């Protein structure tokens, strides 16, 4: 779920891209920026280091990305540094990608289960979610988490549907702890 900071900066960036009719390019560029930041841990550590000045960070970003990203993306990166929001850059980039997909009719769904699901089960989940939403298509990621024990956790559009056995057991434990004998 996106933080307030991610929504504010992400919405501003996406609005600008909509005005300039550059949503497709912005989606590709944002995804590429995510890949770069995930692959280059040294750059991320440098840009998050508290003893390095904002000016040094801005110069470094300009030197690295000057001729490879759009002026809008460069401005976005510089603003994130100037405002001291670089620690939220990955979350903000995720938010931007999801927002653009949503505007283009694609829902981003995360499915968490205790064990891997069969293709039939995946198709059934996708069909039900598409029927219940306003999206034309879904971008689905499946992960397994043994602590779920059973059932599913679905995350989409800042909403969570948690029908996991772990959550049901936790709820039951809370309820039982309130009962006085």
Tell me if the pTM is above 0.85.
no
Asked if residue 37 lies in contact with residue 44, where contact means CB atoms within 8 angstroms, the answer is yes
Asked if residue 37 lies in contact with residue 90, where contact means CB atoms within 8 angstroms, the answer is yes
Please give the pLDDT value at position 17: 95
Both structure tokens of 142: 């499946």
CA neighbours within 13 Å on the CB side: how many for 11? 7
- Cα-to-chain-centroid distance, residue 149: 25
Domain 4-101 has CATH 1.10.520.20: yes
Which ranges in the chain belong to alpha helices (H)? 4-19, 23-39, 41-48, 54-65, 71-82, 89-103, 119-132, 165-178
Please give the pLDDT value at position 124: 94
Please give the pLDDT value at position 99: 92
Please give the pLDDT value at position 163: 85
Please give the pLDDT value at position 1: 58
Give the domain ranges of the chain.
4-101, 105-178
The Cα 172–Cα 65 span in angstroms is 53
How far CA 70 is from CA of 61, 157, 168, 176, in Å, comes to 13, 28, 48, 57
- The per-residue pLDDT string of the chain (181 residues; one tens digit each, 9 = 90 and over) reads 568 999 999 999 999 999 999 999 999 999 999 999 999 889 888 998 999 999 999 999 999 998 899 999 999 999 999 999 999 999 999 999 989 999 999 988 999 999 999 999 999 999 999 999 989 999 999 999 988 888 899 998 878 888 888 888 888 888 888 887 6
Give the length of the chain. Answer: 181
CA neighbours within 13 Å on the CB side: how many for 163? 5
Please give the pLDDT value at position 158: 78
b/e code 6-22 from CB counts within 10 Å (16+ = b): bbebbeebbeebeeeee
């Amino acid at each position: 779920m996106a933080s307030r900071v991610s929504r504010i900066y992400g919405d501003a960036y996406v609005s600008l891209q909509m005005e300039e009719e550059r949503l497709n390019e912005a989606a590709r560029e944002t995804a590429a920026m995510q890949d770069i930041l995930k692959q280059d841990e040294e750059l991320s550590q440098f840009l998050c280091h508290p003893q390095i000045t904002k000016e040094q960070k801005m110069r470094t970003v300009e030197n690295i990305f000057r001729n490879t990203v759009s002026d809008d993306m460069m401005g976005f990166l510089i603003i994130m540094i100037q405002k001291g929001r670089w620690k939220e850059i990955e979350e903000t980039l995720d938010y931007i990608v999801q927002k653009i997909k949503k505007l283009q009719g694609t829902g981003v769904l995360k499915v968490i289960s205790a064990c891997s699901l069969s293709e039939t089960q995946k198709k059934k989940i996708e069909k039900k979610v598409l029927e219940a939403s306003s999206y034309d298509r879904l971008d689905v990621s499946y992960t397994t988490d043994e602590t779920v024990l059973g059932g599913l956790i679905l995350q989409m559009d800042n909403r969570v549907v948690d029908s996991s056995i772990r959550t049901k057991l936790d709820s039951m434990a809370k309820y039982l702890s309130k009962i006085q004998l």
